[in-house]
Structure 1
C-alpha cells in the first residue's frame, strides 16, 4: 500500500513539472485562415449580331387537290403512288365513251346549222336582187333577213356546243397541273367518279415554304433597330435565315423572307411571316416542325458575361462581383439573349467589372477571396481551363 502511494506521488510531481515547463514557454501563434479561391472573368463589350430562334412549320409552295370535273367510270391510274410527277403527266383516265358520242352528236347539229345558214344566206341574196324590181315585198325581204340572222346565231350556238363537248371529253384524262410529289390515290379503278370527287393530292416540294410568327414585342424591337440602321440601307433580303431540322441537324441551305403579313393577329399578338428555302434534294416535306435561326444584319456592341456566372433566386438573376479589395458583392442583373456560352447584360453590370465564374458554392457577399483570372483556352488546345480547386 505504501509503495502504491509513493508511485502515485511520483507521477503527480512529474505532471506538475510538465505544466510548469509549458507555462514558461511561448504559446504557438494561431495560423491565418486561408482565403477561398475562385476563378473570375472580366465582363467586356464585344461586337455581336443578334440571333433568334423561332419554331415554324413547313408548307408546300404549291398544294393541289386533284378533282374530277365529269362523271364516269375510272378506267386506270397512270402513276405510282408517292412518286414525283411532272406537269402534264397523265394521272387518271375516265371512260370517254359517252363523251365521244356526245361530241359526235354536237358535230352533227353543227353541220345542220351550217346548212340552214347557207340556205338562208342564198335566199337573202336572191331576195336582195329581186327587191328593187318589186318582185318581192319589203315584208318578204325582212323575213329573209331574219332567217339569215337566226341561222347564223344557230351556227354559233352549235359551235359552242361542239367546243363544250370537246372540253368534256378532254376531262376524261386527268393530267398533273404542276410538278411535284403525288399522294396515294383516293379512288380505285372501276369506281364511278362524280364531279368534284377528290382523286389525289399533289404538292410541290421545290422550293419549300416555312410559316412562322413573330411576337409583337420582338417586331417593334426589330423595326426600331432597322430604322436606326436606315443609313446603311439594310434590306429584308439581308436577313440570313438558317434552319434546324427536327433531328437537330442544320439544313444545308439558307433561306429568305418572302412574305410579311399586313396586320398583326389580334388573337395571338403575332405577325405571320413566311420564309422560302431551296429544297433540291427534297429532304423537307410539308408539315414538319422546324426551328428558324434568324441572324440580324445589324452589328452592335453588347456587354457579355459567361452563363456559368449567372445564378437565380427569388429576387431574380444575379452575379457575384469582386471590388478592388477582392470582396464579394451580389449584383442583380437584367439579361438579354444568349450568344454561345455568353449572356448579354442589359443592366446591372459595367464593362470591366470582375465576376466569379467558378467557386460560387464557397463564397457569400462580404467575404474576401483569392481571385484567379480565367484563362481563355483555344478550342484546339487540349489543356483544360483552370478550376477553383486548381487555384488553391
Structure 2
C-alpha cells in the first residue's frame, strides 16, 4: 500500500510539469504570432493637386539681351579754319537739316586774300598775253630765219611759264572761295544739335578738338546688342533665308515696351573674350522714345515653333533625374517622367520629347509628391474657383461665429449646443472645398 501511495505523487508531479510545458508552449506561440504578424497598413489619403493637360500650340523662339541705343551718326562740327566766331544760327536741342546754317566765322581776312589773288591773276594774264604776242611775232621771224633759233625757243618756254602762273592764280582764288565757304558753317548731317560748345566772340582754330556743336541723328536710330555664339547660327540661317527678324525694345526695368524695329546687320567678328557677336537693329524712332546711349532690353524673335507640345511652366521640375514632370496615371497615381525642354515664354514651356498632347501633368502641389503617390486631381480652373469658394466659406464662418457670440447662452447645455453649431460652418467649408476639387 505504501508503494501505491508513492507512485501517485510522482504521477501528479509529471502531469503538472506537462501542463506547465504546454501552457508555456502556447504562450510562446501566441507571442511569436503577435510579433511576426503584419500590422494592417492604413491607406494614405490621396493628395489634392492641380493638374493640366499638355496641348499643342505655337511658341516664339526669342533671344533676350541687353542693348545700347547707338545713333546712326554722331558728328562733332569742327572749324576748318581760324577766325573769330561772329554768329551762331541754331538753338540748343533743336532739329536741324543737312546744310542748315549753324555758325559764322569772320570772313573779311579771307575776302582780302581773294582780292589779292584776283589782282595777281590779272597781272599774270596780261604777262601771258604779251608773251603770246611776242611768240607769234617770233614765229614769223623764225620762219624767215631772221632771228636765232634759241630766241624763238626761249619765247615758247616763257609762254608756258605764264600759262602755269595763271593756273596757280586760279587755284589760289579757288582756295580762298573754299575758305569763304568754310567761314559759313553748315550742318553736315540731319539730326538734333546738343548744347552750344562755343559762344560768339571766341577765336576758333582749325586745330580745335572741342568743336562748335555736336549733331546726333535720332530719327532713325539703331540699337546694338550681343548674342552668344551658340545662338548665332539660327540667326544667320534666318537672315540668309531672307527673313525679316523683328526686334522689340523694352525699358531697362522691362516694365513697358518702347519701340519695335528689325534686325539689319551682324558684325563680321566674334569677341573672343566673351564669345559673343554684336548685332544691330534699326528703329524708326519717330516719337524719339529711344534716347542715344540709353540702355534697353532687347527681344529678338528668331523663329516660331508650330504644333509644339506645351505644358504650364510650373509643371516642370528639376532635380536628380534632371528635368521632369509628375505624370498623372489612369489610376490617379503619379510617376516621375523625364522630359527634354525647349524654349519658354514664362507661362508655358515647350516639351521637345517625353510627353505628347493630352498627357496630364501636375502643376501645383508637386512639393508633396513622390513617385507612385496617390492624388485627387483638379483642373486649374477648378482650383481658382475653389480658392474663391474657400474665401467665401471663411467669411461665412466668421459671420456664424459672430452670431454665436451675440446669442451668448449661459447654460451648459446651451453652450454645448452652440459649440456644435460653430463646427457646422467649418464642416460646410471643408465640404465646399472637396466639392470644388
- TM > 0.5: yes
Specify the SS of the correspondent of 2:75. Answer: strand
**Is 1:235 matched with 2:242?**
yes
- Match in the other structure for 1:161: 172
Q: Quote the Cα distance in structure 2 between the aligned partners of 1:120 and 1:300.
A: 88
Deviation at 1:337, TM superposition (A): 2.1
The residue aligned with 1:88 is 99
Partner residue, 1:291: 297
Aligned to 1:343: 349
Q: Residue 135 and residue 167 in structure 1: after superposition, are their counterparts in 2 closer, same or farther (change >3 A)?
A: same
Deviations 1:206-257, CA, capped at 9 Å, x for gaps: 1111112221101124456x49xx9xxx4232x22222233632235x3222
Q: How does 1:358-373 map to 2 (within 5 A)?
A: 358-373=364-379
Please state if 1:300 is matched with 2:311.
no
Q: Deviations over 1:164-211 (max 9, x none)?
A: 111112211110112110011222222221114222110111111111
Correspondence for 1:72: 83
Q: Secondary structure at the match of 1:40?
A: strand
Out of 260, 263, 273, which is 1:267 matched to?
273
Query: Is the 2:75–2:216 contact (alpha carbons within 8 Å) kept by the matching residues of 1?
Result: yes
Q: Any idea what SS the aligned residue of 1:131 has?
A: helix
Q: What's the offset of the Cα at 1:303? A: 2.0
Q: Distance in 2 between matches of 1:129 and 1:145?
A: 13
Q: TM-score, normalised by structure 2?
A: 0.73
In structure 2, the residue matched to 1:24 is none
Consecutive unaligned residues in structure 2, runs of 5 or more: 1-40, 391-432
SS at match of 1:212: strand
Q: Distance in 2 between matches of 1:32 and 1:314?
A: 28
Which of 356, 362, 370 is residue 356 of structure 1 equivalent to?
362
Note if 1:310 corresponds to 2:316.
Answer: yes
- Residue 257 (structure 2) aligned to one of 232, 247, 250: 250
Distance 2:202 2:280 in 1: 40
| Secondary structure in 2 matching 1:255 | strand
Q: Which residue of 2 aligns with 1:13?
A: none
Q: How does 1:128-167 map to 2 (within 5 A)?
A: 128-167=139-178
Aligned to 1:220: 233
Instruction: Name the CA distance, whole Å, in 1 between partners of 2:207 and 2:322.
Output: 61
**Aligned equivalents of 1:191 and 1:271: distance in 2?**
45
* RMSD of aligned Cα (Å): 2.7
Deviations 1:86-131 (A, max 9, x none): 1122111112122122111111111111111111111111111221
Note closer, same or farther for the CA distance 1:385–1:134 as it changes in structure 2 (3 Å cut): farther
Runs of 4+ with >6 A deviation: none
Q: 1:211 to 1:33 in 2, by over 3 A?
A: closer
In structure 1, distance between residues paired with 2:150 and 2:385: 115
| Match of residue 325, structure 1, among 317, 331, 350 | 331
> Following TM superposition, by how much is the alpha carbon of 1:323 offset from its aligned partner in structure 2, in angstroms?
2.0
Work out whether residues 234 and 302 of structure 2, in 8 Å CA contact, stay in contact via their aligned partners in 1.
no
Q: 1:385 to 1:263 in 2, by over 3 A?
A: farther
CA distance in 2, matches of 1:59, 1:223: 22
Structure 1 portions without partners, runs of 5+: 1-29, 377-382
Matched, 1:282 2:288: yes
SS state at 1:236 partner? coil
Aligned match of 1:16 = none
Q: Partners in 1 of 2:146 and 2:368 — Cα distance?
A: 129
Counterpart contact for 2:58–2:304, Cα < 8 Å: no
Is residue 118 of structure 1 aligned with residue 129 of structure 2? yes
Equivalence for 1:209: 222
- For 1:342 and 1:301, the matched residues in 2 are separated by 13
Counterpart Cα distance in 2 of 1:223 and 1:351 = 32
1:321-344, Cα deviation, whole Å (9 max, x unpaired): 222222222344443321251112
Q: 1:94 to 1:315 in 2, by over 3 A?
A: farther
| Deviation for aligned residue 1:279 | 1.6
Of structures 1 and 2, the one scoring higher in RCO (CA 8 A, sep 6+) is 1
How far off its partner does 1:68 sit?
A: 0.8
Higher helix share: 2
Deviation at 1:270, TM superposition (A): 1.8
Distance in structure 2 (CA, Å) of the matches to 1:173 and 1:145: 43
C-alpha contact (below 8 Å) 2:258/2:289 kept by paired residues? no
Q: Distance in 1 between matches of 2:263 and 2:134?
A: 70
Match of 1:38 in 2: 49
Q: Is the 8 A contact 1:374 1:386 kept in 2?
A: no
For residues 116 and 43 of structure 2, the distance between their equivalents in structure 1, rounded to whole angstroms, comes to 116
